Chains A and B, each alone.
Chain A
């Protein structure tokens, strides 16, 4: 009897955290959200959207340095190659002991190479192109932020709907259809922002149903 009571006490102690975990809304919520871990993360979707809209930092990071170093090269470079062919000839005839005759013909020509280069050294200190580049980057950054925060909204709105369906499976066809259409709508919006990448990734990563071949 004593052993039985001890075993019961141990069982209760061991079981209670597990039971608590099963009923704790926060733990359940985390488990629920973990069901969608196979889908692309929000950061991945952000990167895809930035790439698609060409507002990713890699696209414009080098603009400023390029604008600055471009001024090390000359602003203008001018080259000219001039060849003048004179008609002056000098013919000399020589008779050698062997009886051979040689003519020496001297032709007079000129080759002129001209190279001109122009640097605007003021632009090494202050380059107006840097300002333009920076302003353009500013616009791109604003655009990027708007796009990516829109992605966030869509992504988490979709996730919320997914979780709602998990928690309250639809009880009628009409309700199921309506909820699915809302998810599809948000998926389509994310596709529009990522050039179809989101749907492709979701399909690729979706685990095969149990028992499927």
Chain B
């Protein structure tokens, strides 16, 4: 019954509530529906699973596991509950300059170490995100491959590679300088404000920073944004940018739309990055893994490749087509792939289709749970697939998780999903639950777990990088704290700003409820009709004067003869009947939708704006500018953000130097 309710609530498509179903493995964070005998026939439709009777031995085994897991479950649930009680997101990392951050990975040995990537740069942090160092910057002009749409890959304006043995990073030329804010290299002589990677405002011809463009907010909840943020959209900037990071051996692999790059795991400054070439032209690499035999496998736009010791890629045995592969994982020693026509699994006869993942769905990630189960993230759903060796795989359960693009297994086996609508955590009690506390921009692109230390999880997306930390630890380093206090002293905080912006919306979310109450009570009052009729009689007397031979008006008498006052009250019961039959008024429903849209607009626009403004303000205090040009740019940029916030908060947010006198230091 519990499973039924949960199935109804979360849209579970493959749940098999049955008396013959085995008991759940309560130690399993996914609360899985264990079935030791799956459907013997290849299952083409995950939603059409059928329960199979469980053999006695399997049932006994399941019961034994249940008993042994019960104690562990209690410890895990209580422990996880206590640990997660006050978790909140803490923004960290460099300020994203264009489309935000696109990939993150944590060190499997030291969870304090993490790497993050934007479309063209990779940074590393040794202190769970307190500080970052640039380790790789990819050239924006490097050999971009563009698909002609006819299946033919052509190279467009390639930059001839140098010595393959040489680091293939962007070498600063004489005129280039190092930007201490983002760690990126830039050309100070380039006064053109338009960057090829920026969105261009058609009105001004000037670059628009995504997330700060108010005209872009309507798309904020678009599912495409999730894919866009994950680099899965057709947007050229994302498509050719970094899509995934992997730590394998002593290297960090950077999967991009223009090839694969490897950075030394110990590198803390640029110089160790090398492009991994595997023959022929560059090809988009979506994922990279090492199999149990130690082979490096590449999921590419041209199929599954195996990276040989000679550095050349060759088609993997058993992978007999060049279908693009988007993601992969191992369950036990078996490889599972995401291809254009669904999932494939490694068997003794090669990579065979699982019959899961239709053409209409976009599968974005896989996550291995154990040797026979894995999770699939695809088009607003997370599905649990069971693939027993030598048996047909089937979908055991599927949950609606809007916008999901990436999955991760956090501490205590907690499953996390991130995507265009934020971060979601799975728990047995409440299923998938959104965990957005402190997360200002919910458009996330990737997630990485941290198995120890203060941070529980790292995520990246349009708003940059954030780590999940206990509330009491959401504190800055002492220096950063001092700088932040100094930079933001006397200025509005995020809560105030969002409150002002919410209050500036004409329709509030509670308004619809109020109107609903009013409309349901209004019929109690009547329509009132008042009628007043006054009738008067008029009598005139004329006097005849013989002397003048005429009658003159001598007297007029007006006497009321009848007064009528009638008051009618009529009650119209039709609205009450309609309300009882139809429920909420359509106009009120539409208003509720408009109110929620307005709130989303506030959240998706003002939150990121404030976050960017706050960081820039802190940077302004913390940075010693090398040139007047940099200082002016920063001041203008901050003032524009303040002007935008001034608009969104109906004039409450101050524009320092314009609406409020600027303090002596650090203000425009």
CB contact under 8 A between A104 and B541, given known A111-B536, A113-B533, A117-B530: yes
- Shortest Cβ distance from A122 into chain B, in angstroms? 4
Q: Report B60-82 CB contacts with A as 1/0, cut-off 8 Å.
A: 00000000000000000000000
In angstroms, Cα B530 to Cα A119, docked, is: 9
Q: For residue A111, which residues in chain B have a CB less than 8 angstroms away from its CB?
A: 535-538, 558
Q: Is A17 part of the binding interface, using a Cβ–Cβ cutoff of 8 Å?
A: no
Interface residues of B in 610-638 (CB under 8 A from A): 625-633, 635-637
Which listed residue (A30, A106, A154) contacts B204, Cβ 8 A?
Answer: A154
CB contact under 8 A between A126 and B522, given known A109-B537, A117-B529: yes
- Shortest Cβ distance from A25 into chain B, in angstroms? 4
Q: Is A19 part of the binding interface, using a Cβ–Cβ cutoff of 8 Å?
A: no
CB contact under 8 A between A167 and B594, given known A122-B527, A138-B507: no
CB contact under 8 A between A134 and B538, given known A25-B631, A119-B527: no
Q: Is A150 part of the binding interface, using a Cβ–Cβ cutoff of 8 Å?
A: yes
Which listed residue (B536, B541, B547) contacts A105, Cβ 8 A?
Answer: B541
In angstroms, Cα B528 to Cα A110, docked, is: 29
Q: Is B269 part of the binding interface, using a Cβ–Cβ cutoff of 8 Å?
A: no
Q: Is B148 part of the binding interface, using a Cβ–Cβ cutoff of 8 Å?
A: no
Q: Is A116 part of the binding interface, using a Cβ–Cβ cutoff of 8 Å?
A: yes
Q: Say whether A105 contacts B594, CB under 8 Å.
A: no
Q: For residue A124, which residues in chain B have a CB less than 8 angstroms away from its CB?
A: 525
Q: Is A156 part of the binding interface, using a Cβ–Cβ cutoff of 8 Å?
A: yes
Q: Say whether B533 contacts A121, CB under 8 Å.
A: no
Which listed residue (B518, B522, B543, B635) contacts A104, Cβ 8 A?
Answer: B543
In angstroms, Cα B530 to Cα A103, docked, is: 45
Q: Say whether A122 contacts B525, CB under 8 Å.
A: yes
CB contact under 8 A between A145 and B648, given known A100-B546, A121-B527, A164-B191: yes
In angstroms, Cα B206 to Cα A150, docked, is: 11
Q: Say whether B551 contacts A157, CB under 8 Å.
A: no
Q: Report A185-196 CB contacts with B as 1/0, cut-off 8 Å.
A: 010010000000
Q: Report A122-154 CB contacts with B as 1/0, cut-off 8 Å.
A: 111110101110110110011011101110111
Q: For residue B633, which residues in chain A have a CB less than 8 angstroms away from its CB?
A: 160
Q: Is B171 part of the binding interface, using a Cβ–Cβ cutoff of 8 Å?
A: no
Q: Is B515 part of the binding interface, using a Cβ–Cβ cutoff of 8 Å?
A: yes
CB contact under 8 A between A32 and B193, given known A110-B537, A126-B521: no
Q: Report B418-456 CB contacts with A as 1/0, cut-off 8 Å.
A: 000000000000000000000000000000000000000
Q: For residue B191, which residues in chain A have a CB less than 8 angstroms away from its CB?
A: 164, 168
- Shortest Cβ distance from A150 into chain B, in angstroms? 6
Q: Say whether A116 contacts B591, CB under 8 Å.
A: no
Binds A, one of B90-98, B478-486, B639-647: B639-647
- Shortest Cβ distance from B481 into chain A, in angstroms? 22
Q: Say whether B536 contacts A126, CB under 8 Å.
A: no
Q: For residue B542, which residues in chain A have a CB less than 8 angstroms away from its CB?
A: 103-105
- Shortest Cβ distance from A6 into chain B, in angstroms? 31
Q: Say whether B527 contacts A141, CB under 8 Å.
A: no
In angstroms, Cα B626 to Cα A120, docked, is: 71
Q: Residue on A with the closest CB to B215?
A: A146
Q: Report A53-93 CB contacts with B as 1/0, cut-off 8 Å.
A: 00001000000000000000000000000000000000000
Which listed residue (B525, B594, B643) contacts A138, Cβ 8 A?
Answer: B594
CB contact under 8 A between A115 and B541, given known A29-B635, A153-B201: no
- Shortest Cβ distance from A155 into chain B, in angstroms? 8
Q: Say whether B636 contacts A160, CB under 8 Å.
A: yes
Q: Say whether B532 contacts A114, CB under 8 Å.
A: yes
Q: Say whether A110 contacts B535, CB under 8 Å.
A: yes
Q: Is B655 part of the binding interface, using a Cβ–Cβ cutoff of 8 Å?
A: yes
In angstroms, Cα B631 to Cα A152, docked, is: 19
CB contact under 8 A between A103 and B544, given known A124-B525, A126-B521: yes
Q: Say whether A149 contacts B636, CB under 8 Å.
A: no
Which listed residue (B625, B629, B636) contacts A156, Cβ 8 A?
Answer: B636
Q: For residue A146, which residues in chain B have a CB less than 8 angstroms away from its CB?
A: 214-215
Q: Report B506-534 CB contacts with A as 1/0, cut-off 8 Å.
A: 11000100010011011111111111111
In angstroms, Cα B473 to Cα A98, docked, is: 121
Which listed residue (B532, B601, B628) contacts A115, Cβ 8 A?
Answer: B532
Q: Say whether B535 contacts A108, CB under 8 Å.
A: no
Which listed residue (B208, B526, B631, B646) contacts A28, Cβ 8 A?
Answer: B631
Q: Residue on B with the closest CB to A26?
A: B631
Q: Say whether A25 contacts B518, CB under 8 Å.
A: no
Q: Say whether A25 contacts B204, CB under 8 Å.
A: no
Q: For residue B575, which residues in chain A have a CB less than 8 angstroms away from its CB?
A: 122
Q: For residue A137, which residues in chain B have a CB less than 8 angstroms away from its CB?
A: 506
Binds B, one of A8-16, A38-46, A204-212: A38-46
Number of interface residues of A (CB under 8 A): 69
Q: Is A107 part of the binding interface, using a Cβ–Cβ cutoff of 8 Å?
A: yes
Q: Is A101 part of the binding interface, using a Cβ–Cβ cutoff of 8 Å?
A: yes
Q: Say whether B636 contacts A159, CB under 8 Å.
A: yes
Q: Is A21 part of the binding interface, using a Cβ–Cβ cutoff of 8 Å?
A: no
Q: For residue B551, which residues in chain A have a CB less than 8 angstroms away from its CB?
A: 103, 105
Q: For residue A142, which residues in chain B have a CB less than 8 angstroms away from its CB?
A: 601
Q: For residue B544, which residues in chain A have a CB less than 8 angstroms away from its CB?
A: 101-103
Q: Say whether A108 contacts B537, CB under 8 Å.
A: yes
Q: Say whether B215 contacts A121, CB under 8 Å.
A: no
Q: Say whether A156 contacts B643, CB under 8 Å.
A: yes
- Shortest Cβ distance from B551 into chain A, in angstroms? 6
Q: For residue B581, which residues in chain A have a CB less than 8 angstroms away from its CB?
A: none
| Among B538, B590, B598: residue with most chain A CB under 10 A | B538
Q: Residue on A with the closest CB to B588?
A: A131
Q: For residue B518, which residues in chain A have a CB less than 8 angstroms away from its CB?
A: 125-126
Q: Residue on A with the closest CB to B571?
A: A122
Which listed residue (A26, A32, A117) contacts B625, Cβ 8 A?
Answer: A26
Q: Is B390 part of the binding interface, using a Cβ–Cβ cutoff of 8 Å?
A: no
- Shortest Cβ distance from B577 into chain A, in angstroms? 14
CB contact under 8 A between A150 and B506, given known A32-B628, A116-B531, A156-B643: no
- Shortest Cβ distance from A130 into chain B, in angstroms? 8
Q: For residue B315, which residues in chain A have a CB less than 8 angstroms away from its CB?
A: none
Q: Say whether A102 contacts B543, CB under 8 Å.
A: yes
Q: Say whether A42 contacts B658, CB under 8 Å.
A: yes
Q: Is A183 part of the binding interface, using a Cβ–Cβ cutoff of 8 Å?
A: no
Q: Say whether B631 contacts A106, CB under 8 Å.
A: no
- Shortest Cβ distance from B664 into chain A, in angstroms? 10
In angstroms, Cα B504 to Cα A164, docked, is: 36
Q: Say whether B640 contacts A156, CB under 8 Å.
A: yes
In angstroms, Cα B546 to Cα A102, docked, is: 8
Q: Residue on B with the closest CB to A158?
A: B204
Which listed residue (A57, A152, A168) contacts B640, Cβ 8 A?
Answer: A152
Q: Say whether B541 contacts A106, CB under 8 Å.
A: yes
Q: Is A33 part of the binding interface, using a Cβ–Cβ cutoff of 8 Å?
A: yes
Q: For residue B668, which residues in chain A have a CB less than 8 angstroms away from its CB?
A: 30, 33
Q: Is B203 part of the binding interface, using a Cβ–Cβ cutoff of 8 Å?
A: yes
Q: Say whether B533 contacts A114, CB under 8 Å.
A: yes
Q: Say whether B591 contacts A135, CB under 8 Å.
A: yes
In angstroms, Cα B650 to Cα A41, docked, is: 17
Q: Say whether B203 contacts A163, CB under 8 Å.
A: no
Q: Is B572 part of the binding interface, using a Cβ–Cβ cutoff of 8 Å?
A: yes
Q: For residue A28, which residues in chain B have a CB less than 8 angstroms away from its CB?
A: 628, 631
In angstroms, Cα B551 to Cα A106, docked, is: 12
Q: Residue on B with the closest CB to A31?
A: B628
Q: Is A112 part of the binding interface, using a Cβ–Cβ cutoff of 8 Å?
A: yes
- Shortest Cβ distance from B285 into chain A, in angstroms? 37
Q: Report B544-577 CB contacts with A as 1/0, cut-off 8 Å.
A: 1111000100000010010000000000100100
Q: For residue B531, which residues in chain A have a CB less than 8 angstroms away from its CB?
A: 114-116
23 A-B contacts (beta carbon < 8 Å): A25-B628, A26-B625, A30-B635, A33-B668, A41-B658, A43-B658, A100-B545, A100-B546, A100-B547, A105-B551, A106-B541, A110-B535, A110-B536, A111-B535, A118-B529, A120-B527, A125-B525, A131-B588, A138-B594, A145-B648, A153-B206, A153-B208, A186-B204
Q: Which 6 A-B pairs have the closest CB atoms?
A: A29-B631, A126-B522, A103-B544, A121-B525, A126-B518, A137-B506
